[in-house]
Amino acid sequence: MTKGATMLSKVQGSRRPWFLPEGRRLPDEVWAQRHRGLTFLLWLHVPALFGFALFRGYDVATALEQISLIAVPAAVALVDKLGRNARSSATSIGLVIGASVLVHISGGSIEAHFQFFVILAFLTLYQAWLPFLLALLYVVGEHGIVGAIDPRAVYNNPADIAQPWKWAAIHGGFVLAASFANVLSWRLTEQEALHDGLTGLPNRASLLDALEKMPPSRPHRTSAVLFIDLDNFKDANDAFGHDVGDALLIALAHRLQRHLRTGDLLARLGGDEFAIVVNDISGVDEAKAVAERLLSALEEPVCVGDVTLGACASMGIALADESTSGADLLRNADLAMYEAKRDGGARVATYRPTLHSAAVRRTELEAELRVALAEEQFVLHYQPIVDLATHRIVGTEALIRWQHPTQGLLAPAEFITAAEQSGLIVPLGAWVIRTACKQTATWQKSEPDAAPITVAVNLSPRQLLDRTLVATVAEALHDTDLDPSSLCLEITEGSVIKDFDATMPTLHALRTLGVSLALDDFGTGYSSLSYLKQLPVTSVKIDRSFVGDLEANANNGQIVLAIIELAHALGMSVTAEGAETVQQLAALKAMRSDMAQGYLLGRPMPPTDLRATIMEPEAGPLSDCLFELPIQAAGRHDAAVTTNEQD
């Protein structure tokens, strides 16, 4: 048996003749709730029919005999150990007998027969065909078989007594028609709930159902789930409106459908997510080939009205295997899709068990981060920023560390991404802003005569999109009594460009507060001149990858020089990051970088250590590395010196 075929062992649902509807199996809790309701209704029949029998003049013994016909199935329906079918059959047959007893007690009145149809409507709640079958068999059996053996027990009229099977057929016909109407309405409502309103495709519930009931694979064949997420759908939606977004989704759904083989199933999971069950494939290579083909199909331009759009998608593949349920298979494909997205999108990735363990680790990390935030396990270290003209520390960069209870001091690389993904970066970032402002205000107060030291705080993309950011910054400045000009917020180009329209007003509002803005890691991102011109930033931080290679790579020197000159031309100051050697520092100074930061000048350190460095810079490591460099008296921008000249 192939792996895919083994999934069959998970097939749920009842065995049924081909012509009967199967229906979705109700979840256990839903079924139990409905069964309780219907069984309660059945038990209500006991006193009601007993009272009605006495009212109609029956003696107590006969009345008891009549209601015992209901009480027995009603008791069976309460036995939890019995399966769903046995218990629903007991309740159904009890309710049908109840209707029959009512007819009997009422002397066969036509009106009492209506109760059958009320009961049939109630039985629809079981969403199974068996109750209807039982009702049909009961009615036909009672009118036909009992009617033939003991006609007076069933019929009053001599004409009817002679033709029990004719009346059995008539009553049965009505019950069959009413059952059909009820089953039809249940099935149509169910179909509605199993399909996506926009594209008409099966939805997530329907897909999961199909996965659970996957047909057996042929030998050496298997099945796979492809999880598809459009990469740029949000942009199209935002740029052209939801109508165009909807039309795009419909067009792409049709396109995917056209490229599938019969037997494959396409579903829309919601938003811009689709999934495909690809059946009867030889293995992962064939699944990849299918995915690549679909990816190319999606990438062809789509015309929506007079707009032409290009779509691209990230796809994850998970192959069916013996131990994986349908829901887990979909989750695995989803994890693989996220991997494709992390790798830049517009690609296909295949599920590996490590993806799951990494996801579990991320979830655990998020939970740990929540605790860490509540228990204040974070600390800030401060790295000095030195003015290359005066050789004095003019500021610091606040860098977060996690004092983990078991793993020691963790660097931001270990947790910032998880904090960002979980949204925890917003409260965490607010804590960083408050703490850095408080520390800097304390330093400034302890040195009232010195030029006020500044602090730089890193902002993550998520924080920039947070509406409360400006208020958080204003509040931190107000509460700590720090002058806004002493706070610099570091942003990266990527975080602005990702959502330019949303972040620009925030950046301007921050500038209005009086804080300065620095473009961090400059040179590694888009480094787009048109963006740089538009951003209200006051300084640029050259990424340490350029500084680190200054000596080895002459081109890097040219790049650093170009960045410095460009920034100066735009009226911005420049801080070079990652200065580790005296030579690098000399080159940076020669190229007229305004400030430098790096291990040479001081590593990120706890506030108490940094205080000593600020108070007595001549005694600290700064003096050793800077004493060789001339202090610039005035006019920073006088001599153009390249690194080559330095060499």
Tell me which long-range contacts 623-629 makes (C-beta under 8 A, separation of at least 24).
Answer: 625/582, 625/585, 625/600, 625/601, 626/386, 626/391, 626/585, 626/601, 628/582, 628/586, 629/388, 629/391, 629/582, 629/585, 629/586, 629/589
Q: Pick one of ligand C2E, Mg ion, none as the site partner of residue 614 (Cβ within 5 to 8 A by kind).
A: none
The residue within the footprint of ligand C2E, chosen from 98, 147, 202, 598 (CB under 6 A), is 598
Tokens representing 367 are 């939970």
The region of 145-153, 318-326, 361-369, 411-419 touching ligand C2E under the rule CB under 6 A is 411-419
Listed in order, strand segments (DSSP E) in 19-136 are: none
- Binding part of the chain for ligand C2E, among 87-95, 100-108, 591-599, 608-616 by CB under 6 A, reads 591-599
Rule CB under 6 A: say whether 416 interacts with ligand C2E: yes
Binding mask 532-561 for ligand C2E (x = CB under 6 A): ------------x-----------------
Nearer Cβ to Mg ion, position 314 or 573? Answer: 573
Q: Which is nearer to Mg ion, 155 or 402 (CB)?
A: 402
CA-angle at 258, arms to 255 and 260, nearest 5°: 115
User: Given candidates 339, 490, 493, 594, which one binds Mg ion under the rule CB under 5 A?
Assistant: 490
CB of 375 to ligand C2E, least distance (A): 18
- On whether the CB atoms of residues 365 and 603 are closer than 8 A, the answer is no
Helix/strand/coil percentages in the chain, nearest 5: 55, 15, 30
Element (H, E) at 43: helix 28-55
Which token pair is 597? 């930061």
Q: Which are the contacts of 289, defined by CB distance < 8 A and separation ≥ 6? A: none
Burial readout 158-177 (b: 16 or more C-beta within 10 A, e: otherwise): eebeeebeebbeebbeebbe
Nearest CB to ligand C2E, comparing residues 354 and 623: 623
460 binds, among ligand C2E, Mg ion, none (CB under 5 to 8 A by kind): ligand C2E
Q: Is 503 in the site for Mg ion (CB under 5 A)?
A: no
- How many C-beta neighbours within 10 Å does residue 327 have? 13
Helix or strand run (H / E) with residue 386: strand 378-387
| Candidate ranges 213-221, 296-304, 452-460, 607-615; the one touching Mg ion (CB under 5 A) | 452-460
Task: Build a one-symbol-per-residue string for 56-75: x at contacts with Mg ion by CB under 5 A, - elsewhere.
Answer: --------------------
E-strand ranges in 155-234 read 222-230
Residues 152-211 that bind ligand C2E (CB under 6 A): none
Which structure tokens are listed for 507?
A: 């950046």
Query: Token pair 């981060």 is at which residue?
Result: 369
Quote the CA–CA distance of 120 and 491 in Å, as a whole number.
Answer: 67
Query: Contacting ligand C2E (CB under 6 A), which of 215, 216, 283, 412?
Result: 412
C-beta closer to ligand C2E: residue 236 or 476? 476
Binding status of residue 444 toward Mg ion by CB under 5 A: no
Cβ proximity to Mg ion: between 278 and 576 the closer is 576
Quick one: 229 or 577, whose CB is closer to Mg ion? 577
- CB of 621: closest distance to ligand C2E in angstroms? 12
3-state secondary structure labels for all residues of 196-207 = CCCCCCECHHHH
Please identify which residue in 2, 435, 458, 538 interacts with ligand C2E, judged by CB under 6 A. Answer: 458
Nearest-angstrom CA–CA distance, 424 and 429: 8
Among 144, 151, 578, 617, binds ligand C2E (CB under 6 A): 578
- Two tokens, residue 66: 């009549």
Pattern 473-512, ligand C2E, x by CB under 6 A: -----------------x----------------------
Does 420 sit near Mg ion (CB under 5 A)? Answer: no
Which tokens go with 136?
């049909």
Choices 332-340, 432-440, 454-462, 586-594 (CB under 5 A): range interacting with Mg ion: 454-462
Amino acid at 168: A
Q: What is the dihedral of CA 302, 304, 308, 309, to 10 degrees?
A: -60
Question: Among ligand C2E, Mg ion, none, what binds residue 556 when CB lies within 5 to 8 Å by partner kind?
Answer: none
Q: Which of 97, 399, 482, 591 binds ligand C2E (CB under 6 A)?
A: 399
Of the candidate residues 231, 264, 334, 520, the single one contacting ligand C2E (CB under 6 A): 520
Q: How far is the CB of 381 from ligand C2E (least distance, A)?
A: 7
Q: Is 580 in the site for ligand C2E (CB under 6 A)?
A: yes
With contacts defined by CB under 5 A, name the span among 161-169, 485-493, 594-602, 613-621 that binds Mg ion. 485-493
Residues in the interface with ligand C2E (CB under 6 A) total 24
Judged by CB under 6 A, does residue 430 bind ligand C2E?
no
Q: Which of residues 339-398 bind ligand C2E (CB under 6 A)?
A: 383
Between 506 and 597, name the residue whose CB sits nearer to ligand C2E: 597
Helix axis angle, 607-615 relative to 425-446, nearest 10°? 30
Q: How far is CA 338 from CA 267, 333, 529, in A?
A: 18, 9, 32
Judged by DSSP in three states, 449 sits in: coil
Least separation, in Å, of the C-beta of 554 and ligand C2E? 21
Contacting Mg ion (CB under 5 A), which of 424, 521, 539, 604? 521
Is there binding between residue 432 and ligand C2E (CB under 6 A)?
yes
- Is 567 among the residues that bind ligand C2E (CB under 6 A)? no
Q: Angle at CA 602, nearest 5°, toward 599 and 603? A: 65
DSSP character at residue 452: P
Q: Are 488 and 457 in contact (CB under 8 A)?
A: yes
Query: What is the closest distance, in whole angstroms, from the C-beta atom of residue 444 to ligand C2E in the complex?
Result: 20
Look at strands 408-410 and 392-404 and give their pairing. Answer: antiparallel
Q: Considering the rule CB under 6 A, would residue 431 count as an interface residue with ligand C2E? A: no
Q: Does 455 bind ligand C2E (CB under 6 A)?
A: no
Helices (H), 351-492: 353-374, 416-422, 425-446, 461-464, 469-480
Q: Which does 432 bind (CB under 5 to 8 A by kind): ligand C2E, Mg ion, none?
A: ligand C2E
Q: Note the residues at the interface with Mg ion (CB under 5 A).
A: 458, 490, 520-521, 577
Q: Note the residues at the interface with ligand C2E (CB under 6 A).
A: 383, 399-400, 411-413, 416, 429, 432, 458-460, 490, 520-521, 544, 577-580, 597-599, 604
